[in-house]
Amino acid sequence: MNTEDMSVNPAVQQMAEKAKRDDVETVWDRYEQQQPQCGFGELGICCRNCLQGPCRINPFGEPSHGICGISADGIVARNFLRFSAGGAATHADHAFETVEMLSKTAEGSVPYEIADPAKLKAVAAKLGVPTRGKSVKRLAADVAKVAFEDFAPGKETMRWLTANAPEERVNVWREAGILPKDPDLEIRRVMHQTSMGVDADYTNMVLAAMKMGLVDAYSGLQLGCDVQDIVFGTPKPVKTQANLGVLDEDKVNIIVHGHVPFLSEKIVEWARKLEGEAKKAGAKGIKIAGMCCTGNEVLMRKGIPSAGNFLAQEFAIITGAVDLMVVDVQCVMPSLAQVASCYHTKLVTTHEIGKIPGAEHMPFNAETADEDAQRIVRMGIEAYKKRNLSRVEIPDIRQEMWGGFSVEAIEEIFGCLNSDKSENPLKPLVDAITSGQITGVAAVLGCNNTRFKHDSMITRIAERLLQENILVLTGGCAAHSLGNTGMMCPEGTEKYAGESLRKVLEAAGQAAGLGAAVPPVLHIGSCVDNSRVGALLTNLAAAANLDIKDLPVAASAPELAHEKSVAIGNWCVALGVFTHIGMAPFVGGGREVTRMLTSEMEKLVGGKYYVEPDPDKAADTIIAHIKAKRSALGI
C-alpha cells in the first residue's frame, strides 16, 4: 500500500516509509493480508454461539436460518448485543477500578490524594450524599460506598444514572423498558440472553443493546470520569503540542498508552523527579508523551503532549526514539511487541488482564504505585543508553493543541460573556445558538479503523462542520486527529471556524482572559470523558428549557472500531441524539435490525443511527439534521 493512502498525517506517512526501509511489518501490512475480509462476518450473519455451528445465513436465499432455527435478524441482533455488552463491560470494569482506588485513597492505604475536593462535593451533592461537617476523606469514602452500591443488586437503577440523566430521559427509558438495574447483572444477563436457545426476538435484543449503552454511560463513563476528576483534578484549559514530532531526540522518551490514569499520573510524577538520573545517563531530561486515551488523560490534566492515536501507535516506535512504552488495557495493539523488538524500545505491560507475549510484564499495584512507577521510569533510562542513533528519525512535525475543556471549564469560559453573573453560565452559548451565530453543537469522537485512511474521515467531517459555524466537541482518538490538524488551538479558530462562530469564540476567549480565541474544537478528554458530552448536552437542554432530543446537536464516530464505541453510540441514540457512524457495526445482514437502529429508535427515544462512509455526504447530512432541528424550534 502507498504510504499516502495509509494516513492523512504527514508524520505517520513519513514513519510508514521508514517502516518499509527498516523492514518492519505494520498494521497496514496485516490489513492487506486480511483482504478480502469475510462478507458473512461483515454483515453479521454468522453465528458460533453453540458447537453445532458455525452457522451462516445466505443473504440472497438459502439457508435463511441457523441450525437451531434462528433467523438472520436474530443472529445479527444477538451479535450486536454481545458486541455492545463487550463495550459496556470494559467501561464498567475501568470505572470499578477507579472506585476501588477512590476507596483506598479515602482509607489512606495508597499514595494518592483527593486533588479536587470541590468536585468531590459537587458529585456528593448530585448523589444526595450529605456533605456537611465531613472531612474530605470521609466524604470520599461515602461517595465510594454509593459507587460500590451501584454494582450491587436490589434496586430499580443506578444512582449514577438518576443523578446525571435528565428526569425526562429516565422516564423515557423506563417506559421503553431499557432502564438498567446494575451493570454486573445486566452484562451477565446479556451473556445469558444471547446464548443458544434463549432470545430469538431481535426487537428485544436491540432494546437490550440500548440498555447496554446506559450501563456503559452511567456505570462506566460518568462514574469513571467523576472519580478521576476527584482524584486527579477537573481539567482546565491547557496548552500543549501534538504529533510524533513531540518526541525529543535529546531526551529519554517514554510513551504512556492505554486507558486508566492511575499509572500514567505516577509515571509523569516520577519522570519529573528522576530527571537527574536521566541527565547522568547522558540525556537532557525525560520526555513523556501520551498515546490514545491515557494520552488524553494526562494531556487534559497535566498538559503532557500527544504522540498520537490508535493507528499511530506502531509508528511512534518506528521513530527509533521511544525508549519505553508502558501500557495497561484497551486499544493496545499486540503487534507492539514485534515492532518494539525491531528497535531498542522496551515495551512494558502492567495490568493482570493485559499481557502481551514478548513484552516485559511489571504488575502495577496501587499500594506500591510510587515504587512501580520509579522502576518503570528507570527502565526507560536504561533503555535510552541502548538507543541506536542510526535508527532514529523523528518527523519534524508538531502542532500546538489545547485541551482541558471539562464542562466546568466550558461553563466558566462562556459564563464570562454574561453581563449578569447570576445568570446560567451557558446562557451566552444558548443565546448564540438561538441567534444563529452558532448553528449547533456536534461531538466528533471515537477511534481509528483500518477501513478508512487514518484520520481522514474525522478531520474532513470536523472541517465541514466548523465551516457551517457548528461548535465541535471531541475526545478519544478523534481528539488526537483534530489536534494534529491544528483545529484545537486559537489559530484554528482563525483558520477553520465560520465567521460567526469565530466571533463568539474570540469574544469568549477575551472575556475569560485566555489571551486568545477559544479553539473551535473543544477537547473533552478520553473516551471515558464522553460523559462530559452528555453532561454538557444535559446542561444546555436545561438552560434552554428543552429536551436533549430537540436540540440542534449531533454525534459522530466517523472511524469507529472498538466495542466501546458501539456501546457509547447506543447511549447517544438513547439520549435522543442523531448519531453518525462511518460503518455499520456488522448489522447489514439484518434488515429489520438495521431499520430499528436507523429509524424506529427515533420514535422510541428520539435518537437514531445514521451510517455513511463518505465524509462529505456524512457532513451534509449532519448539517441538514442540525438545521432541521433549528427549524423545528423556529430559530
Does residue number 484 form part of the binding site for ligand SF4 (CB under 6 A)? Answer: no
Sign of the CA dihedral running 56, 58, 59, 64: negative
Q: How far is the CB of 86 from ligand SF4 (least distance, A)?
A: 18
String marking each residue 311-350 x if it binds ligand NFS according to CB under 6 A: -------------------xx-------------------
What kind and span of H or E run contains 288? strand 286-291
CB of 535 to ligand SF4, least distance (A): 40
Estimate to the nearest angstrom the gap between the alpha carbon of 71 and the chain centroid.
34
Given ligand NFS, ligand SF4, none, residue 342, with its beta carbon under 5 to 8 Å by kind, binds: none
**Binding residue (CB under 6 A) for ligand SF4 from 44, 66, 509, 569:** 66
Tell which residue, 295, 572, 603, has the closest CA to residue 443.
Answer: 572
In the complex with ligand NFS, the residue whose CB is nearer, 88 or 430, is 88
Size of the site for ligand SF4 (CB under 6 A): 13
CA distance 391 to 131: 57
Nearest distance in Å: CB 559, ligand NFS:
9
Q: Which stretch binds ligand SF4 (CB under 6 A): 52-60, 271-279, 295-303, 604-612?
A: 52-60
CA 387 – CA 401 distance, rounded (Å): 29
129 binds ligand NFS (CB under 6 A): no
Residue range at the interface with ligand SF4 (CB under 6 A); choices 49-57, 82-90, 255-263, 305-313: 49-57
Find the binder of ligand SF4 among 185, 196, 200, 511 (CB under 6 A). 196
Q: Are 339 and 314 within 8 A, CB to CB? A: yes
Assess 8 for contact with ligand NFS (CB under 6 A): no
Identity of the residue, 476 or 534, whose beta carbon is nearer to ligand NFS in the bound complex: 476
Which does residue 7 bind out of ligand SF4, ligand NFS, none, counting CB within 5 to 8 angstroms by kind? none
Let me know: does 450 contact 419? Beta carbons within 8 Å: no
Any contact of residue 409 with ligand NFS (CB under 6 A)? no
For the record, the C-alpha cell of 38 comes out as 469475510
Number of residues that bind ligand NFS (CB under 6 A): 16
Kindly state whether residue 613 participates in binding ligand SF4, applying the rule CB under 6 A: no
Distance CA 277, CA 251 (A): 12
Residue nearer to ligand SF4 on the CB measure, 136 or 196: 196
The verdict on 53 binding ligand SF4 (CB under 6 A) reads yes
Among residues 208, 168, 264, 269, which one has the least CA distance to residue 575?
168
Residue 564 near which of ligand SF4, ligand NFS, none (CB within 5-8 Å, type-dependent): ligand NFS
Binding status of residue 447 toward ligand NFS by CB under 6 A: yes
Read off the amino acid at residue 48. R
Nearer to ligand NFS, 321 or 477 (CB): 477
Contact 418, 425 (CB under 8 A): yes
Q: Taking contact as CB under 6 A, which single stretch among the options 32-40, 358-366, 373-381, 557-565 is the one that binds ligand NFS?
A: 557-565
Q: Answer whether 86's CB lies under 8 Å from 189's CB.
A: no
Residues 201-260 that bind ligand NFS (CB under 6 A): 259
Interacting stretch for ligand SF4, rule CB under 6 A, among 65-73, 357-365, 454-462, 551-559?
A: 65-73
- Using CB under 6 A as the binding rule, whether residue 562 contacts ligand NFS is answered as yes
By the rule CB under 6 A, 261 interacts with ligand NFS: no
Asked whether the beta carbons of 180 and 211 are under 8 A apart, the reply is yes
Q: How many CB atoms lie within 10 A of CB 21?
A: 9
Task: List residues bridging with 241 in a β-sheet.
Answer: 400
Residue among 331, 80, 44 at smallest CA distance from 211: 80
CB of 386 to ligand SF4, least distance (A): 50
Kindly report the three-state secondary structure assignment for every residue of 122-165. Answer: HHHHHHCCCCCCCCHHHHHHHHHHHHHHHCCCCCCCCHHHHHHC
Phi, psi of 39 (to 5 degrees): -70, -35
Which of 397, 328, 312, 66 shows the shortest CA–CA distance to 200?
66
Helix residue ranges per DSSP H, 68-116: 72-107
Q: Are 430 and 461 spatial neighbours (Cβ–Cβ below 8 Å)? A: no
Residues 6+ positions from 536 with CB-CB distance below 8 Å: 407, 410, 441, 473, 524
- Does 50 interact with ligand SF4 (rule: CB under 6 A)? yes
Of 404, 440, 476, 582, the one binding ligand NFS (CB under 6 A) is 476
Applying CB under 6 A, among 159, 454, 564, 629 the residue interacting with ligand NFS is 564
- Report the nearest approach of ligand SF4 to the CB of residue 49 (Å): 4
Beta strands in 344-466 (DSSP E): 346-349, 360-361, 399-403, 440-444
70 binds, among ligand SF4, ligand NFS, none (CB under 5 to 8 A by kind): ligand SF4
Residues that bind ligand SF4 (CB under 6 A): 47-50, 52-55, 66-68, 70, 196
Residues that bind ligand NFS (CB under 6 A): 259, 292-293, 309-310, 330-331, 446-447, 476-477, 527, 561-562, 564-565
